[in-house]
Amino acid sequence: MATISDVARLAGVSTSTVSHVINGTRPVRDETRTRVEEAVKATGYRRDSLARALRRSRTDSIGLILTDVSEPAFAAMARGVEREAMDAGLTVLLANSGEDPELEARTLEVLAERRVDGLIVAPVARSHREAITAVIEQGTPVVLIDRLGGVKADQVGVENTAPMRELVLHMVAHGHRRIALAAGDTGVSTIAERRRGYLEALDEAGIPADESLVVTGSGRADDTRERMTGVLRRSQPPSAVVAAGTETAVGVLGAAKGLGLSVPEDFAFATFDGFPHTDLFRPGITAVAQPAHEIGATAMQLLFSRIDGSLTSRPRTIRLEPEITYRESCGCPA
């Protein structure tokens, strides 16, 4: 196997020059760089990443723990993390916690034992936050993503309360007063914030809150469908429904289909998050689209700044603005 000395000998330079070219640690003249790069190809030299990482007390890897990477928003966040990590020369170890606090705690422990350089975590509902705190106290940088609060760490997410308030007030402007919320698990901080926006909108509009119109539970599509079916079967069903996330939106639409109801003819509908290519649905679905890819990218940039020591200030919380697009499902014209 070719060594760095073989490359240096063939290129007619020192081993330190070869190292600077390979690692980008110091500027090298173009002519010299070209000779080194040609020597690398000719010898078939491959950098020993493990040895290099051990010398630097780094593994050049980070852990990413999401509750369900199959959800569109989380999938986009993962792509944002991966892109930034790749540009920084880091490998991403991805894990799904499945909304299970015990699994999340074990995964944190395993990744910490693998000596990842940092962690990005979307905490589960009722997360054992002490497990995340323990990792931080051991010296591993952590950035919370999407679900914020509860831990002294850098955090990146989206504004939740104000967009949901605006969405509900839009329904009110269309003449709706019995507005249901397919919330899901309010133990999840993002869902709790969206529920708060719903209640603030009702209060602003002078509409008494009716907790029987707030559908909670696990937040899974099948659970939401069952619970929402009961709400839509009432003698006085809601004239509008707002969903707090993709899974609950699927549950609402599934309940409507099972009852032979149509949107927006039988009830107006809007959702936070929604689905990829929402504009292709008929009717088009009014939705709050969060910049999920940007959230992931921002979290990775923040984490890398902690890893390389360029950011040493107190933990930061960054909230990005989502975008609301109004379509036919809420009663707006095409």
What's the pLDDT tens digit per position in 239-276?
999 999 999 999 999 999 999 999 999 999 999 987 87
**Which one is predicted more confidently, 9 or 52?**
9
Share above pLDDT 90 across residues of the chain, in percent, rounded to a whole number: 67
**pTM of the predicted model as reported, rounded to 2 decimal places:** 0.80
Residue-level pLDDT at 1: 64
Average pLDDT over residues 128-136: 89
Which H or E run contains 95?
Answer: strand 91-96
Confidence of residue 55 (pLDDT cuts 50, 70, 90): very low
3-state secondary structure of 269: strand
Greater pLDDT, 293 or 43: 293
**Using 50, 70 and 90 to split pLDDT, how confident is the model at 54?**
very low
- For residue 331, what are the CA distances in angstroms to 169, 185, 272? 13, 28, 17
User: Do the strands 61-66 and 91-96 form a parallel or antiparallel pair, or are they unpaired?
Assistant: parallel
294: its two tokens: 């940007």
What is d(CA 71, CA 296) in angstroms, rounded to the nearest whole number?
A: 14
Domains and CATH numbers, the chain: 4-47 (1.10.260.40), 59-158+292-321 (3.40.50.2300), 161-290+324-330 (3.40.50.2300)
Q: What is the pLDDT of residues 199-235, one digit of tens each?
A: 999 999 999 999 999 999 999 999 999 999 999 999 9
How many other CB atoms are there within 10 angstroms of residue 262's CB atom?
Answer: 11
Are the CB atoms for 132 and 142 separated by under 8 Å?
A: yes
Q: What residue type is 127 in one-letter code?
A: S
Per-residue pLDDT, averaged over 303-308, amounts to 90
pLDDT category of residue 169 using cuts at 50, 70 and 90: very high
Give the residue, 274 or 83, on which the prediction is more confident.
83
Nearest to 211 by CA among 220, 202, 223, 219: 202
pLDDT at residue 280 above 90? Answer: no
